């Protein structure tokens, strides 16, 4: 096979399925991918005219990669299916965006910047800990943050069950209940768990920055398309 007329199978799967190349490699290694009727192997290349099947279904034709910035309101879950009485973010988005996946998540009670895409490699580069993407939030607490607790969170970290959580804090209000939080990790509900470990409740959590992307003036429940440099 001429390499100029082919491409790596994991790259093709990532583009067509909206998964990362690592996830594509997992599909291949598990024997779930075939090329012209033969089980594919890791590192395989595939010609443009080849017939590729994944889990018994023909690989979808090429789709345009999309990148959306969305201002998520409080009260909506980042899921395609409603959870109990809670509506989903897709209730606020056009039907053609239901195929896009959230890049990271914001829980029901959180608001702010959410990225959505069908580019698995982009999603992986934004969320895997090794890339250390900076995220910035504004938060509200149910009571003033004690200076000692501020120092613990900023300088030493607070144990939250899956390791110590260390956050950068900047005070936003004189009464010490409103703060800006900067972090590069992304553990599940990490900010809420960090403050809960010290006896505080996070009453507001709003993301304003994710990597190089900012919420800026995007109104609540509104979205915009962005271009990603190759």
Alpha-carbon span 132 to 182, nearest angstrom: 12
Instruction: Please provide residue 32's backbone torsions phi and psi, each rounded to the nearest 5 degrees.
Output: -90, 0
For residue 26, give both structure tokens: 């997992």
pLDDT at 4: 61
pLDDT tens, position by position, 36-87: 999 999 999 999 889 999 999 888 776 788 999 999 999 999 987 777 888 9
Residue 27's nearest CA partner among 16, 47, 42 is 42
Contact indicator for 169, 133 with CB cutoff of 8 Å: no
Among the options 107, 109, 121, 175, which is catalytic? 107
pLDDT, tens digit, 9 for 90 and up, residues 76-118: 999 877 778 889 999 999 988 888 999 988 999 999 999 999 8
The predicted pLDDT at position 94 comes to 92
| Domains of the chain, each with CATH number or no CATH | 3-58 (3.10.290.10), 67-128+214-225 (3.30.70.580), 134-210 (3.30.70.1560)
Query: Which band of pLDDT confidence, cut at 50, 70 and 90, is reported for residue 14?
Result: confident
Which structure tokens are listed for 11?
């790259």
Mean pLDDT on 128-150: 96
Burial 43-71 (b: 16+ CB within 10 A, else e): ebbbeeebebebeeeebeeeeeebbbbbb
Going 81 to 85 to 86 to 88, the CA torsion angle's sign is: positive
> pTM to 2 decimals?
0.78
3-state SS of the chain? CCHHHEEEHHHHHHHHHCCCHHHHHHHHHCCCEEECCEECCCCCEEECCCCEEECCEECCCCCCCCEEEEEECCCCECCCCCECCECEHHHHCCHHHCCCEEECCCCCCCEEEEEEECCHHHHHHHHCHHHCCCEEEEEEECCCCCHHHHHHHHHHCEECCCCEECCEEEECCCCCCEEEEEECCCCCCHHHHHHHCCCCCEEEEEEEEECCEECCCCCCCCEEECCCCC
205 bridge partner residues: 139
The residues facing 207 across adjacent strands are: 112, 137
Q: How far apart are CA 230 and CA 227, in angstroms?
A: 9
Q: What is the pLDDT of residue 59?
A: 87
pLDDT of residue 193: 97
Reported as a single tens digit per residue, the pLDDT across 148-203 is 999 999 999 999 999 999 999 999 999 999 999 999 988 889 999 999 999 999 99
Active site residue 121: no
Q: What is the pLDDT of residues 189-229, one digit of tens each?
A: 999 999 999 999 999 999 999 999 999 999 999 999 998 86
């Amino acid at each position: 096979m001429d390499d100029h007329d082919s491409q790596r199978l994991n790259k093709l799967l990532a583009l067509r399925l909206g998964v990362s190349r690592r996830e594509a490699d997992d599909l291949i290694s598990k024997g779930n991918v075939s090329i012209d009727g033969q089980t594919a192997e890791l590192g395989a290349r595939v010609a443009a005219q080849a017939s590729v099947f994944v889990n018994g279904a023909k690989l979808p034709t090429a789709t345009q990669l999309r990148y959306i910035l969305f201002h998520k309101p409080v009260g909506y879950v980042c899921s395609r299916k409603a959870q109990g009485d809670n509506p989903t973010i897709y209730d606020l988005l056009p039907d053609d965006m239901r195929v896009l996946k959230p890049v990271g998540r914001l829980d029901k009670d959180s608001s702010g910047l959410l990225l959505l895409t069908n580019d698995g490699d982009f999603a992986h580069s934004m969320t895997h800990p090794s890339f250390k993407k900076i995220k910035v939030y504004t938060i509200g607490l149910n009571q003033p943050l004690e200076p000692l607790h501020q120092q613990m969170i900023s300088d030493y970290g607070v144990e939250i069950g899956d390791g110590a959580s260390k956050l950068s804090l900047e005070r936003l209000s004189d009464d010490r209940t409103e703060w800006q939080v900067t972090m590069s990790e992304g553990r599940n509900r990490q900010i809420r768990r960090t403050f809960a470990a010290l006896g505080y409740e996070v009453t507001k959590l709003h993301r304003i920055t994710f990597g190089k992307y900012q919420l800026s003036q995007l109104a609540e429940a509104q979205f915009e398309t962005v271009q990603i440099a190759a």
